[in-house]
Amino acid sequence: MSLASLLTSLSGLWAIRADALTNLADSLQHLADMPEAASARAGASRAEDNPPYRMDGSLAIVPVTGTLTKNGLRFWGLDLLTSMRGISAALRRAEADPAVRAILLDVDSPGGSVDGIEELAGAVAAVGAGKPLYAYADGLMASAAYWLSCGAREIAAPATAEVGSIGVVMMHREVSKALDEYGVKYTVIAAGHYKAAGNSVEPLSDEMRAYLQSGIDDVYELFLQAVEQGRGVSREKALTMADGKIFIAGEALKAGLIDRVCSRAAFISHIKESTIMNLAELKAQHPEAVRELRAELETEAASVNAQARDSARAEGEKAERDRVLALAGTILGKEDADRLKAVAASGVSPEVLASLQGVLAPARPDKQQEALDALKAAAAGKPLSPMAALGEEESTAAPDFDALVAAHIKASGCSRGAAIQAMAAAHPEEHQAWIDAQNAKRK
């Protein structure tokens, strides 16, 4: 890329202090006028030529200095413009570095070109989502430099720093009068009404000025949105911050552009305390906070355990109710068992159901009390043996299998063989004990 091409690009959109853009144009023009520049060529800055960041403990410090352009500019071995893509690459390397616990953008920049700034701001947001990312205005944080920094977790500046200049600028260079003085006349031939808008050899008409202004306004809207999202402010608040003014640090703090006014060393210490402190340091420096946190965690753990016990108890009670209803069904028969399950599922209490005995039409009066007793036990979540369902006194010992068989015969009127088969299915442990006892007697 030649210096002439760079000078032409200065007519594009910039997010930079206006005086910085003018100085940049003058500097590049001065270089272009030097005899040595005829054979010299400029090139993009190479990120690998410089360390991407330096470490302060576990903090990676990424420099953001000078005028920013998408690919930067190197001329005669010097970096005249800083590469935005080089900064993005440094941020990604810091994010991937396991030794890095937090990242600091060390900013001293008047801003730069609009081309490339959204890409860099997106990289800042993406890296900041993975690791804590901060920004420090070490002298000047203006325009595009603020655009990329406003997404940081915190922004700080020393008392003498300048912050702001939020806006978009375009520089139109008209040389028509100078050309007239030299007797040179340019004729611009273009297809498309706005194709030659803003060219430097013709005066800028009101129509073309309005056309160029609309493009500036569109980019300014993007800048406003970045401030709103990055600083978490309303559109009205963003407009008070983004009117193009440059603020000294104290005023920038009042306006909401930054979060604290302090020295660079104090801000780095603050970052380390906030994000890099290990457990040993935390215990040593903040024992009260550690104790409070431990107590909070223990209380939360106890609450979770209590909920788990309550849930397990409820599940156990439900399982026991289902078992009792199954036993009652074995004793009463399928028809009464279905009625009993339907009544239990309705949620009615045994007491209410008992008060309605005179209203209900019992098909089998001799079984109604048995069903009520079984329902009461099921609702209370207490185990009920078939003997108790028949009105017999419940023993604290395991029920005798012969007694279970007798109770089933009494309740259902079936044969002893059928009763043994039914009780063996309902009480396999008691059935096995009964078999063992019978075998022992035969010996």
Q: Count how many domains the chain has.
A: 3
Confirm whether 195 is domain-assigned.
no
- CB neighbourhood size of 375 (10 A): 24
Q: Span 334-356, mean pLDDT? A: 65
Pair (422, 354) in one structural domain: no
**pLDDT of res. 266:** 97
Pair (28, 15) in one structural domain: yes
Choosing from 383, 405, 425, the residue where a domain stops is: 383
Residue 132: which pLDDT band, with cuts at 50, 70 and 90?
very high
Percent of the chain with pLDDT over 90: 35
Choosing from 344, 366, 383, the residue where a domain stops is: 383
For the stretch 142-197, pLDDT in tens is 999 999 999 999 999 999 999 999 998 877 666 667 767 777 777 767 787 767 67
Confirm whether 392 is domain-assigned.
yes
Which has the minimum average pLDDT: 51-55, 174-178, 200-204, 396-400?
Answer: 396-400
Pair (28, 166) in one structural domain: yes
Q: What tokens does 85 get?
A: 């893509």
Pair (39, 59) in one structural domain: yes
CA distances from 233 to 15, 147, 156, 175, 257 (A): 21, 14, 17, 43, 10
Confirm whether 184 is domain-assigned.
no
Q: Span 417-421, mean pLDDT? A: 81
**pLDDT of res. 426:** 83
Confirm whether 286 is domain-assigned.
no
Pair (344, 436) in one structural domain: no
**pLDDT of res. 353:** 58
Pair (323, 424) in one structural domain: no
| Rounded CA separation 132/141 (Å) | 20
For the stretch 365-392, pLDDT in tens is 555 565 556 555 555 544 444 444 444 4
Pair (253, 125) in one structural domain: yes
Residue holding tokens 């020295």? 263
Confirm whether 417 is domain-assigned.
yes
User: 327 and 426 in contact (C-beta within 8 Å)?
Assistant: yes
Choosing from 353, 383, 413, the residue where a domain stops is: 383
Domain ranges, residue 401: 385-443
Confirm whether 293 is domain-assigned.
no
Confirm whether 7 is domain-assigned.
yes
Which has the minimum average pLDDT: 48-62, 227-241, 250-264, 321-335?
Answer: 321-335
Is 83 noted as a catalytic residue in this protein?
A: no
User: 178 and 151 in contact (C-beta within 8 Å)?
Assistant: no
Which has the minimum average pLDDT: 65-79, 191-205, 360-374?
Answer: 360-374
pLDDT > 80? residue 131? yes
CATH label of the domain that carries residue 63? 3.90.226.10
Pair (46, 113) in one structural domain: yes
Among 143, 149, 165, 385, the one annotated catalytic: 143
Rg, Å, the chain Cα set: 43
Pair (337, 256) in one structural domain: no
Is 70 noted as a catalytic residue in this protein?
A: no
Confirm whether 185 is domain-assigned.
no
Among 27, 195, 303, 355, the one annotated catalytic: 195
Pair (17, 101) in one structural domain: yes
Pair (411, 325) in one structural domain: no
| Rounded CA separation 274/268 (Å) | 10
pLDDT > 80? residue 340? no
Pair (389, 379) in one structural domain: no
Task: Give exposure, 118-132, as e/b (b: 16+ Cβ within 10 Å).
Answer: bebbebbbebbeebb
